[in-house]
Copies of this chain bind each other. A is one copy, B any other.
Amino acid sequence: MDLQRIKYFLALAEQLHYWKTAEKVNITQSALSRQIQSLESELGLQLFERNKRNVKLTPAGKFLKEKWEVELNELEYIHQFAKQLHLGERGTITIAHPDSISASIMPDILAKITQAFPKLQIKLVQVLYENQLDFLKNYKIDLAITRDITSEQGIHAKKIYSDHLALVVPLAHAFKKFEDLSTKRLKAQKFILPTKDEGSSYSEIIQALFKSYDFVPDVFLHSEFGSTIIALVRKGLGIAILPDSYMHHQSPGLRFIPLPFKTDILINWRADDHNPVLANILKLVFEN
- Identify the A interface with B (CB < 8 A): 1-4, 43-46, 49, 58-60, 63-64, 67-68, 71, 74-75, 78-79, 81-83, 85-87, 91, 274-277
- Min CB–CB distance A64 → chain B (angstroms): 5
- Beyond A1-B3, A3-B1, whether A274 also contacts B82 by CB under 8 A is no
A125 to B162, CA, bound (A): 83
In the complex, the chain B residue whose C-beta lies closest to that of A42 is: B79
The answer on a CB contact under 8 Å between A43 and B79 is: yes
Contact of A83 among B45, B49, B67, B275 (CB under 8 A): B45
Is A60 a contact partner of B82 (Cβ separation < 8 A)? yes
| Inter-chain contact A78/B83, CB cutoff 8 Å | no
**A277 with B82: in contact, given A3-B1, A71-B75 (CB under 8 Å)?**
no
A45 touches B86 (CB 8 A): yes
Looking at the complex, which one of B59, B67, B83 makes contact with A277 (CB distance below 8 Å)?
B59
Which among B43, B78, B83 is the interface contact of A82 at CB below 8 angstroms? Answer: B43
Residues of B within 8 A of A81 (CB): 63
Measured CB to CB, the nearest residue on chain B to A67 is B78
Q: Which residues of B are found within 8 Å of A1, using beta-carbon distances?
A: 2-4
- The smallest beta-carbon distance between A56 and chain B, in angstroms, is 9
Contacts of A275 in B (CB 8 A): 59
Q: How far is the CB of A68 from chain B (nearest CB, A)?
A: 8
